[in-house]
Amino acid sequence: MLKVLISGGTGLVGKHLSEKLRKKGYAVAVLSRTSKKDVDIPTYSWDIEKKEIDQEAIETADCIIHLAGASIAEKRWTAKRKQLIIDSRVKSGQLIFDKVKENKNQLKVFISASAIGYYGAITSNKIFTETDPPANDFLGETCKQWEGIIDKFEELGIRTVKIRTGVVLSEQGGALEKMTKPIKIGIGSALGSGKQYIPWIHIDDLCGIYIKAIEDSQMRGAYNAVAPDHKSNIGFIRILARVLKKPIWLPSVPSMVLKILFGSMSAIILKGSRVSSEKIKAAGYNFLFPDLERALIDLCRKN
């Protein structure tokens, strides 16, 4: 039985992925900053600042999935918060790398989250592909450093996959919950110009891509994890409102208001480009939810 260790496995993606992996017969363990004794998934602890990881976690893993990281959208991007966003991904990745190197264990594959923020917070019609360079803004720089650590695993001869993730749609919180709430109470509207794209993915497809990355030894390097259906902010909101059977009647929220409310973090709401899913499709992944409306119907009926 293949053993999969998931850093940050207690989060939105990690919980869903753990469940899917266990159903497929994988042995799953998570790496967490707190040891939660009540969960039925073995939890190993680590302290990134002290550079400590429960040794057994690394020694026994055939596959490591690195999801750990402070939330991008939870708090305003002060200088301190920005550093935490970077360090929680890069220093944690470096720590795993050092321990894997020390242990000379039998790790077969290292897979990590990255984000479509790699390509930058810009609104354009260009469709970004995996060969495009990282952007020269905060998220572009974060993803560049994050992926830099991931690439180091290749130096150890370990197959490495980077999953550049779009906005994850789940019935259990995350972005969809934030978008759904105002619509449900009748105050939903587009944000800013409404023209910015929202590269999105249904959580079942994201987990499907992670599982494919474990099982398909041909997969190596970066893959965008976004659905093939490109939707602008206004297009997305209209479909969500239709699925929820609620009207959209208010004008869009002015960009200035969002900039005042969220500071520089507003870039992730007000800007957005199209991102290609061609590479993962060409690798043989068939999306369960290629179409936004069907994805939203599936997720909203679960609530």
Ligand X SMILES: NC(=O)c1ccc[n+]([C@@H]2O[C@H](COP(=O)([O-])OP(=O)(O)OC[C@H]3O[C@@H](n4cnc5c(N)ncnc54)[C@H](OP(=O)(O)O)[C@@H]3O)[C@@H](O)[C@H]2O)c1
Site residues, ligand X (CB under 6 A) = 8, 10-14, 32-34, 48, 67-72, 84, 88, 92, 113, 115, 165, 167-168, 174-175
Residue 37 or residue 104: which is nearer to ligand X going by CB? 37
Query: Least distance in Å: CB of 16 to ligand X?
Result: 8
Query: Least distance in Å: CB of 125 to ligand X?
Result: 22
Residue 6 or residue 219: which is nearer to ligand X going by CB? 6
Q: What are the strands, taking DSSP E only, across 12-143?
A: 27-32, 43-47, 52-53, 63-66, 109-115, 127-128
Closest residue by beta carbon to ligand X: 11
Residue 107 or residue 175: which is nearer to ligand X going by CB? 175
Residue 1 or residue 79: which is nearer to ligand X going by CB? 79
Element housing 293 (H / E) = helix 292-301
C-alpha–C-alpha distance, residues 299 and 294, integer Å: 9
Query: Least distance in Å: CB of 132 to ligand X?
Result: 17
Query: Least distance in Å: CB of 203 to ligand X?
Result: 8
Query: Least distance in Å: CB of 49 to ligand X?
Result: 9
- Overall residue count recorded for the chain in this entry: 303
- The answer to whether residues 129 and 224 touch, using CB atoms and an 8 Å cutoff, is yes
In DSSP terms, which residues pair with 113 in a beta bridge?
163
In DSSP terms, which residues pair with 30 in a beta bridge?
6, 43
Q: Which residue blocks in 60-174 are alpha helix, DSSP H?
A: 79-103, 138-155
Residue 68 or residue 100: which is nearer to ligand X going by CB? 68
Query: Least distance in Å: CB of 146 to ligand X?
Result: 8
Residue found under tokens 């301190």: 80
Comparing CA positions, the residue from 167, 248, 232, 247 lying closest to residue 193 is 232
Query: Least distance in Å: CB of 68 to ligand X?
Result: 4
- The answer to whether residues 29 and 2 touch, using CB atoms and an 8 Å cutoff, is no
Residue 104 or residue 276: which is nearer to ligand X going by CB? 276
- Structure tokens given for 238: 């209209």
In DSSP terms, which residues pair with 201 in a beta bridge?
168
Residue 143 or residue 234: which is nearer to ligand X going by CB? 143
Query: Least distance in Å: CB of 226 to ligand X?
Result: 10
Residue 83 or residue 217: which is nearer to ligand X going by CB? 83
- Structure tokens given for 198: 């929202």
Residue 3, C-beta contacts closer than 8 angstroms, at least 6 positions apart = 26, 27, 28, 29, 60, 61, 62, 63
